[in-house]
Amino acid sequence: MAKNVPEVVARRLPRYYRYLGEQLEQGVTKISSRALSEKMRVTASQIRQDLNCFGGFGQQGYGYNVYELHEKIGEILGLNDCYRIIVIGAGNVGRAVANYAGFRRRGFVIEALFDNDPNLIGGRINGIPILDASEIGAYCRENSPQIAAIAVPGHAAEAVVEELEESGILGIWNFSHADLNCGIPVETVHMSDSLMNLSYRIKNNEQ
Amino acid sequence: MAKNVPEVVARRLPRYYRYLGEQLEQGVTKISSRALSEKMRVTASQIRQDLNCFGGFGQQGYGYNVYELHEKIGEILGLNDCYRIIVIGAGNVGRAVANYAGFRRRGFVIEALFDNDPNLIGGRINGIPILDASEIGAYCRENSPQIAAIAVPGHAAEAVVEELEESGILGIWNFSHADLNCGIPVETVHMSDSLMNLSYRIKNNEQ
DNA sequence: TAGATTGTTAATCGATTAACAATC
DNA sequence: TAGATTGTTAATCGATTAACAATC
């Protein structure tokens, strides 16, 4: 599979995946690129192009089998593997991530938080234990979580990430403002950028 | 100002803004598109093109005044206005948003949460009161918050948004999975999409 | 077989980069 | 004035859309 897949294409897959999941729940068994495109407000061409980066999942004259396509995209996204997540930082952002259970059902599990505040260590958030930040490395080598969510201030993030990378973490889910560069995939969620963009659009909507 | 500004450009502004703010704190007074581009890992051309969508903020032979440029971008993003935010839904996601204080210092204030669970109504999260969801409309007409964060399940989101729009909300910060379409700006934060994308990149990094 | 819809190539569109004249 | 760096036009690149032959 996989000719060189443009990033924009990969970013659209989760949306397709979610939508196909919904259709599946509603008992829809087949869908054409046209029907899909109308619901998703993109062109049918784009959907066919996107999917063909990964292989021909459809059948001419028929369309796509919803179940099969959903499965395939899930596989491409790596959702069959169960990912275990640790959260670095048990402040506001860490709490937010630990509380946000929306992604649990897709096989992502948060198994521990880390902080260096003695008042927090030993406690729990949403049932998840808060451990001592000095033990991140040891913990990772022992338990091999795949993903680390970074919820510490930007200036502290760099050092943490370096340690995590050495300890065998496979990917970073970054909630700090730091532009992390390291050898493993980093996915950054910029909540404040998102809010600033909304602010911009509100302002430029109302003149 | 403002020739037709492509969305990609607007999305880059918060990043420039953040970085210029950091430089400002470090006492840097002037910066060239070249220097900026190296730090931000984009081309100098792109920075100049982007900025020139909004006007010529630089000076030939000199570069950009950091303070001025920071101010200008802040103004473009509408960060001088103070935005008041209400959060609809006091479940995991609503709690997460209420706990995430990172954007406060930029003049965004969360002033209330809404839920329809009697056990939650009357309580507080992070100091913010939880009010009865049936009073959203009345509250908005009285207090005129500008932004509503949607933290209810997708199927419930549509109806809420309609009411909010009628009650004079100016923008929607959407944390639900619903693809909301309405007359006011909607900015969606797809945490789970983001995580799926990370999963994808981890998978395609390690073969 | 006729109708439908894919997979894929070609055409278009828009965004990024390069180049350079204007000018501080 | 000479050097630097912008603002802006032109060239390139990549992504989206259109078209259509392949085929179920």
Instruction: Determine contact, residues B140/B168, Cβ cutoff 8 Å.
Output: yes
Which among B76, B98, B124 is the end of a domain? B76
Residue B203 in any domain: the answer is no
C1' nearest to CA of A59: which nucleotide?
Answer: C6
Q: Report d(CA B130, CA B10) in Å as an integer.
A: 34
Do residues A60 and A89 share a domain?
no
Q: Which residues of B touch A4 (CB under 8 A)?
A: none
Residues A88 and A140 in one domain: yes
Look at residues B37, B56, B76 and tell me which one is the last residue of a structural domain. B76
| Total domain count, chain A | 2
Which residues of chain A neighbour B77 with C-beta distances below 8 Å? 196-197, 199-200, 203
The pTM (predicted TM-score) of the whole model is: 0.93
Domain boundary among B56, B76, B96: B76
Within a domain: residue A173? yes
The answer to whether A45 CB is within 7 Å of strand C is yes
Contact assessment for residue B63 and residue B100, using Cβ atoms and an 8 Å cutoff: no
How many degrees, rounded to 5, is the angle at CA A84 between CA A78 and CA A90?
130
Do A188 and A87 lie in one domain? The reply is yes
Q: What is the CATH number of the domain that holds A105?
A: 3.40.50.720
Whichever domain contains A23, its CATH number is: 1.10.10.10
Selected residues 21-60 of chain A with any CB under 8 Å from a CB in chain B: 40-41
Residue A101 in any domain: the answer is yes
**pLDDT tens profile B79-121:** 998 999 999 999 988 988 988 765 666 789 999 999 999 999 9
Range of the domain at A92: 83-192
Tens of pLDDT, residue by residue, chain A (207 residues): 456 899 999 999 999 999 999 999 999 999 999 999 999 999 999 999 999 999 999 999 999 999 999 999 999 999 998 999 999 999 988 988 988 765 666 789 999 999 999 999 999 998 999 999 999 999 999 999 999 999 998 889 999 999 999 999 999 999 998 888 889 999 999 999 999 999 999 999 754
Same domain, residue pair B72 and B96: no
Do B101 and B183 lie in a common domain?
yes
CA distance A55 to A3: 9
Same domain, A99 and A159: yes
Q: How many Å from the CA of A60 to C1' of C1?
A: 16
Secondary structure letter of residue A9 according to DSSP: H
Written as one string, the DSSP assignment of A85-122 is: EEEE--SHHHHHHHH--TTGGGTEEEEEEEE--TTTTT
In this structure, the answer to whether residues B106 and B137 fall within a common structural domain is yes
